[in-house]
């Protein structure tokens, strides 16, 4: 008989938590039970999924005594407190926050890219940032073929990356515009409807944001390329769901657009959507709630000698967060 797991979701009432509930069920993860955990403010609320109803419990250290796997999506401040508590109680913690990503003792995993790094984990496994995970679905197969040297990236990040409140704010601003009222901005420093904001996360002394540095540091760790160079600009756009990334990459070896398409098409979790004559390219509208990320606009880079320019789109609530976490749990189960 296959083993079944007692699973918990920390941050179950948030946008990613809701996706985790559906993905665990729809992908038939072998669960004996599912506990929904959140802050004390949410304790006692009920969440229904199909014919099942769950009562949300307050997330406490002792909550993990009865769990085998806990997936965290409640922010770094919560993870820093509760993830070590889960780990020391024998519960494997898969953490969506940035709290442990750069800890050398914690594997940072994209299952299609570095499943081998899961070996020897100490009950804590980190999930990468959303734009990193989506970008690597194209960069990894290209690196294996041509040898990645450096890359520039510009991100086009949907409001769902900020959470439910940001999604509601975009809806309310659009409604206000249609009704002739002045839109209100509360979640973001400026109106996001009909606008783009070149500011995601907090600014650092060098002018980059934490989000932009995550692309460099996390890619270096996941790809095991400590000398990799990168410069990224992260931009919030008025899209409800699914991120897009424009990438210009330089490689060690001569590149071929045809071969690039071949290796990407053969890589799990990604697909080619690249037929410009028929106006086919990846767009967030068509990559919402889709397991695979899409890669298109593949062409030789006009600056780099061995360079490629391309565009990637993927659902950051899925591959950038919930789906990747569930895939890590699936990988654990397959090795158990």
Q: Does residue 264 sit in helix, strand or coil?
A: helix
DSSP codes joined into one string, 28-50: T--EEEEEEEE-TTTTT-EEEET
Instruction: Judge contact between 248 and 307, C-beta under 8 A.
Output: yes
- Chain position carrying tokens 């997330």: 59
What is the rounded CA–CA span in Å between residue 318 and residue 299?
A: 27
Instruction: Give me the catalytic one of 130, 140, 234, 293.
Output: 130
**Whole-angstrom Cα distance, residue 264 to residue 31?**
33
Helix (H) or strand (E) holding 55, with range, is strand 52-55
Q: Which residues contact 239 (CB under 8 A, 6 or more apart)?
A: 156, 158, 159, 284
Q: Is 130 assigned a catalytic role?
A: yes
- Looking at 91, 121, 143, 243, which residue is catalytic? 243
Enumerate the active-site residues. Answer: 130, 243
């Amino acid at each position: 008989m296959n083993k079944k797991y007692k699973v918990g979701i920390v941050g179950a009432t948030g946008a990613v938590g809701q996706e985790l509930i559906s993905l665990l069920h729809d992908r038939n993860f072998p669960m004996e039970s599912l506990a929904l955990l959140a802050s004390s403010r949410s304790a006692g609320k009920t969440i229904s999924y199909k014919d099942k109803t769950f009562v949300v419990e307050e997330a406490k250290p002792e909550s993990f005594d009865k769990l085998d796997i806990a997936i965290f999506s409640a922010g770094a401040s919560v993870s820093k407190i509760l993830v070590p508590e889960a780990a020391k109680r024998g519960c494997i913690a898969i953490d969506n926050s940035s709290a442990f990503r750069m800890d050398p003792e914690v594997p940072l995993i994209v299952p299609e890219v570095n499943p081998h790094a899961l070996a020897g984990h100490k009950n804590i496994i980190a999930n990468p940032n959303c734009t990193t995970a989506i970008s690597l679905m194209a960069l990894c197969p290209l690196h294996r073929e041509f040898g990645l040297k450096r890359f520039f990236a510009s991100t086009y990040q949907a409001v769902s990356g900020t959470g439910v409140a940001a999604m509601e704010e975009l809806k309310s601003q659009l409604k206000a515009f249609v009704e002739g009222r002045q839109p209100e901005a509360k979640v973001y420093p400026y109106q996001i409807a009909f606008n783009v904001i070149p500011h995601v996360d907090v600014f650092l002394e060098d002018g980059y944001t934490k989000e932009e540095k995550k692309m460099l540091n996390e890619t270096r760790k996941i790809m095991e390329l400590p000398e990799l160079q990168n410069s990224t600009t992260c931009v919030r756009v008025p899209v409800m769901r699914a991120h897009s990334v424009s990438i210009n990459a330089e490689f060690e070896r001569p590149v071929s657009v045809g071969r690039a398409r071949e290796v990407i098409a053969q890589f799990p979790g990604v697909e080619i959507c690249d037929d410009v004559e028929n106006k086919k390219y990846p767009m967030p509208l068509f990559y919402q709630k889709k397991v695979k990320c899409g890669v298109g606009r593949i062409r030789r880079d006009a600056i780099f000698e061995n360079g490629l320019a391309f565009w990637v789109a993927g659902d950051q609530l899925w591959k950038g967060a919930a789906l990747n976490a569930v895939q890590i749990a699936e990988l654990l189960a397959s090795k158990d």
